[in-house]
Structure 1
Amino acid sequence: MIPFRFLHAADLHLDSRFAGLSHLPQDIRSYLRESTFAALGRLVGVATLQKVDFVVISGDVYDVADASLQGQLRFREALEELGRHGIQVFLIHGNHDPLDGPRLSSAPPAHVTVFGGSEPERVTARRREDGREVAVVSGISYPTSKVTENTALRFSRQPGSSLFHIALLHGNVDGDLQHETYSPCTRKDLIGRGYDYWALGHIHKRSILHEHPPIVYPGNIQGRSIKETGPKGCYTVDVSAEGGVRLDFHELDSVRWQVRELSIDGLNDEAEWTLAVENAVEDIRSETPQMMSVVRFRLTGRGDIHKVLAEKGAADDLLTELQRRETVRAVRKEYAGLVWTEGFSIETGLAVDREHLLLEDSFLGEMLRLAGHSGGNASELDELVATALRPMMENQELRRLLLSVGAEEKQEWLRGAAELGITLLSGLEESGGTPQNAAEEGKAYSAGDAGDGDGQQGREVEE
């Protein structure tokens, strides 16, 4: 086999409208709108610097079916730049940019293959330096925005070919209920098709589902909400003469979303808490000096500061001041190192001797011991949550949502229930314990959410 290198990206969502962020200052909102294009420019830079032989893009090039003229022209510009470096491009369209969406009718450049939506097509990829055939690339686009059949079963390896086989698929593998079940399939389905690499798109969280053959979600190239945290980018994939595969991740984002925990334990007054938050902002600024960061602070722990947060509205006041400072930076066009505090999630409580409560021969003590034990055992946690939520499971929509909840979120529910139990059963009087971005959870989430573009209310991420 001839060694070669390619780049795998997906979910570009060019010209994303960042729905739910209309309240932001215009300078910052404009920078966010430009961030997907900036990530595309970095993608082209990685492809040329890494001297890849070709690029595969696994769906959702655009954020909406009716892609803006600007988005289409910027993408064509990127394709032409890749072409000038002799880099082939193979791409499919997904649920956000299906083939039936209204777009420019001009044909793609000669070095670009856009796969159709009827059956998976096969195209030969060549090595850039000598034009030798190195891979067979197959793909299928979404003809419409809703593809609910298992299109993976249509793929088949080219008979008699010894070339490396790559499949482009935009879909939901193994029924991830946190995402729309478009083109649903299983890992077993993919492994059984005989391909050497599955280039997936649709899920925005980067993950390698299987190693031999590699079944890979690169994630999206730019985070767009508080649910899309951490580095975003693409993979370069090196295929050796023996057919071995090595993946290297490359960060492409210019805006980094994150949730940062900040405990109030040991803080004595409002001034100390304010300073702790300000120091955390500066820590983030120093960690990511070359990009803009959007952060939600999870305030945890117990202490007297809880009263200040819950009753005096200190979180609202500090949030306004932090955002004012960053707006000044934005007006000066100082986006590198800008840290926009998206909100505070207040999960604090009044001071209590938790260790003493754990030793008590009381209902509260027993409850805390049960919570602690179940929290450390995945199967017991699942059983506890399932028992508690059994009445809700009778509702089909609620059952679908509850089944999509992951282990981390269940842990949060258990922790929250334990904290509420301490509050109600220990005689402490509290009025707090709710996430805030001005006052309540709804505002905290609306500050960073993109919506799903499919009329699904309450979903935080577009797939």
Structure 2
Amino acid sequence: MTSFRFIHTADLHLDTPFAGMSGINDRLRRHLQESTFAAFGDLVDLAVSEEVDFIVISGDIYDASESSLRAQLRLKEAWDKLGLHGIPVYVIHGNHDPLSSSRQRFVYPDHVTVFGSRVESATAVRRKDGLPVAVVSGISYPTSSVTENTSLQFHRDPSSSLYHIALLHANVDGQEGHDVYSPCSLSDLKKSGYDYWALGHIHKRQILCEAPWVVYPGNIQGRSMKETGPKGCYLVDVNDNKETTLHFYELDHVRWTETELSIEHMTSENKCKEMLEDRLESLRSESGGRTTIVRLNFTGRGPLHSMLQSGRDSNELLQELQRQETERISPGSASILDSVIWPASFKVNTGLDYDRSLLQEENSFLGELLRLSERYQNRSDDLNLDLDANAIINDALASLMDHRVLRGYVQDLGEKERRELLQQATEMAISLLVDEEPRGGEVS
């Protein structure tokens, strides 16, 4: 066995359009649209500087099957640079860039291996001496929807003592938030005999197992508030004894994040604005020069609850913060674009300043409402206790199940989202019952 190193990456989603971002100026929008290319460029530079022996890419190079010419030109540029440095690339296609795509304009160079719609294998060598070090196997999506368990096609070559790497674009154990394409279980992967499963499709970085290694590197650039935190790739070192070490490298040029502020000490609208500005400046000092898109999550109870729940007032406050940040990045300003902290939206999870325990003791509709909400929020997920509370919640949602669009939304709600919606509904009901006028939710 010979030591070697490789990069595991996935879900590049080159040329993501970042549609739906409101209020941003053209300069920032161009920066967002360039971010996936910039992150990929840094990945190529990392491969060169760290002298990796090869790269594996586990699907979704493009953001759409009808990939733009710009995306394909930038990809060719990256392939050419890697080729100049003698770095091979092993690629599979996923649901966003299936083999059936009709807009592949360029032929892949010889140092880029693309696996087909059935499991194929290739032998990877160490660059400095050409010694074989690994068997790399992979399978691509023939179309955008693959519902069979393709992991069952992988079988380790019993005659080879080389390190075995499997490339698979799949949803392991039905993880929420992603389509259940190429569904499989962790048990399926463990039984295959492979040493390292290089996964793609799930954009959250996670190591599911270390014996064998089962790894999601996540995507290289966050694309929405659903993809918060550092994004990048894994540099993988394998020693002579097949002992494997992973190092995560951040590549994202735009980071999505959420920060929480309590309204407990916000005594006025002006105080609220000051605290928001202070928080944005704190994020700027911690950003390391990286552009940050932030959602501001208001929590707690206080006198500004009604103002924040008001769609008009909270929207005007958000627009004012965005106007101030726009001035920093306007043409002719001395600021650096990469230091921008963009307030994208507000999430309001606040409540009136009242004694909840006293209201819960009341023999009234409001008291019963609070007791029911408390029972649902505190029920055991594992034992599924308090079926009465759960039944009432499901009954309240029943009318939505007749609506095609809303039905899909309700069915996709996870337990966390259900609890958040219940809490918001409870606060709105309390406000209504004490003659307040809420219109809560998220402002963007």
1:405 to 376, 390, 413: 413
Contact 1:137–1:167 (CA<8 Å) still a contact in 2?
A: yes
Q: 1:99 to 1:22 in 2, by over 3 A?
A: farther
Q: 1:39 to 1:309 in 2, by over 3 A?
A: same
Which residue type is aligned with residue 260 of structure 1? T
Tell me the SS of whatever aligns to 1:248: strand
Q: Report the Cα distance in structure 2 between the residues aligned to 1:224 and 1:128, rounded to whole angstroms.
A: 34
Flag structure 1 segments of 5+ consecutive residues without an equivalent. Answer: 438-443, 445-463
Contact 1:281–1:339 (CA<8 Å) still a contact in 2?
A: yes
Residue 141 of structure 1 corresponds to which residue in structure 2? Answer: 140
Q: 1:227 to 1:141 in 2, by over 3 A?
A: same
TM-score normalised over the length of structure 1? 0.86
Which residue type is aligned with residue 351 of structure 1? D
Q: Report the Cα distance in structure 1 between the residues aligned to 2:56 and 2:385, rounded to whole angstroms.
A: 39
**Larger deviation, residues 79-88 vs 292-301:** 79-88
The two structures, once aligned, show a CA RMSD in angstroms of 2.5
Q: Report the Cα distance in structure 2 between the residues aligned to 1:193 and 1:280, rounded to whole angstroms.
A: 49
Residue 237 of structure 2 corresponds to which residue in structure 1? Answer: 238
Q: Report the Cα distance in structure 1 between the residues aligned to 2:184 and 2:209, rounded to whole angstroms.
A: 14
Residue 335 of structure 1 corresponds to which residue in structure 2? Answer: 337
Contact 2:254–2:291 (CA<8 Å) still a contact in 1?
A: yes
Q: Report the Cα distance in structure 1 between the residues aligned to 2:386 and 2:42, rounded to whole angstroms.
A: 46
Residue 187 of structure 1 corresponds to which residue in structure 2? Answer: 186
Post-superposition offset of 1:154: 1.3
Tell me the SS of whatever aligns to 1:35: helix
Q: 1:280 to 1:23 in 2, by over 3 A?
A: closer
Q: 1:207 to 1:12 in 2, by over 3 A?
A: same
Q: Report the Cα distance in structure 1 between the residues aligned to 2:283 and 2:320, rounded to whole angstroms.
A: 17
Residue 294 of structure 1 corresponds to which residue in structure 2? Answer: 293
Q: Report the Cα distance in structure 2 between the residues aligned to 1:263 and 1:315, rounded to whole angstroms.
A: 15
Identity of aligned residues (%): 50
Which residue type is aligned with residue 429 of structure 1? D
**Which structure has the higher relative contact order (CA within 8 Å, separation 6+)?**
1
Residue 310 of structure 1 corresponds to which residue in structure 2? Answer: 309
Matched, 1:83 2:83: yes
1:333-352, Cα deviation, whole Å (9 max, x unpaired): 72121011111122222211
Contact 1:200–1:215 (CA<8 Å) still a contact in 2?
A: yes
Contact 2:39–2:221 (CA<8 Å) still a contact in 1?
A: yes
Q: 1:381 to 1:374 in 2, by over 3 A?
A: farther
Q: 1:308 to 1:363 in 2, by over 3 A?
A: closer
Matched, 1:419 2:427: yes
Matched residue count: 435
Matched, 1:387 2:386: no
Tell me the SS of whatever aligns to 1:38: helix
Contact 2:119–2:153 (CA<8 Å) still a contact in 1?
A: yes
1:56-97, Cα deviation, whole Å (9 max, x unpaired): 000010111121111111111112222222221101111111
Residue 110 of structure 1 corresponds to which residue in structure 2? Answer: 110
Q: Report the Cα distance in structure 2 between the residues aligned to 1:112 and 1:147, rounded to whole angstroms.
A: 24
Q: 1:304 to 1:105 in 2, by over 3 A?
A: closer
Post-superposition offset of 1:53: 1.3
Post-superposition offset of 1:408: 2.8
Q: Report the Cα distance in structure 2 between the residues aligned to 1:135 and 1:311, rounded to whole angstroms.
A: 60
1:351 to 343, 350, 353: 353
Q: Report the Cα distance in structure 2 between the residues aligned to 1:380 and 1:364, rounded to whole angstroms.
A: 28
Residue 229 of structure 1 corresponds to which residue in structure 2? Answer: 228
TM-score normalised over the length of structure 2? 0.90
Q: 1:386 to 1:82 in 2, by over 3 A?
A: farther
Contact 2:152–2:188 (CA<8 Å) still a contact in 1?
A: yes
Contact 2:309–2:441 (CA<8 Å) still a contact in 1?
A: no
Residue 161 of structure 1 corresponds to which residue in structure 2? Answer: 160
Post-superposition offset of 1:421: 5.2
Structure 2 matches for 1:416-455, cutoff 5 A?
416-420=424-428, 422-423=430-431, 427-432=433-438, 434-437=440-443, 444=444
Q: Report the Cα distance in structure 1 between the residues aligned to 2:60 and 2:355, rounded to whole angstroms.
A: 52
Tell me the SS of whatever aligns to 1:322: helix
Contact 2:125–2:133 (CA<8 Å) still a contact in 1?
A: yes
Tell me the SS of whatever aligns to 1:200: strand
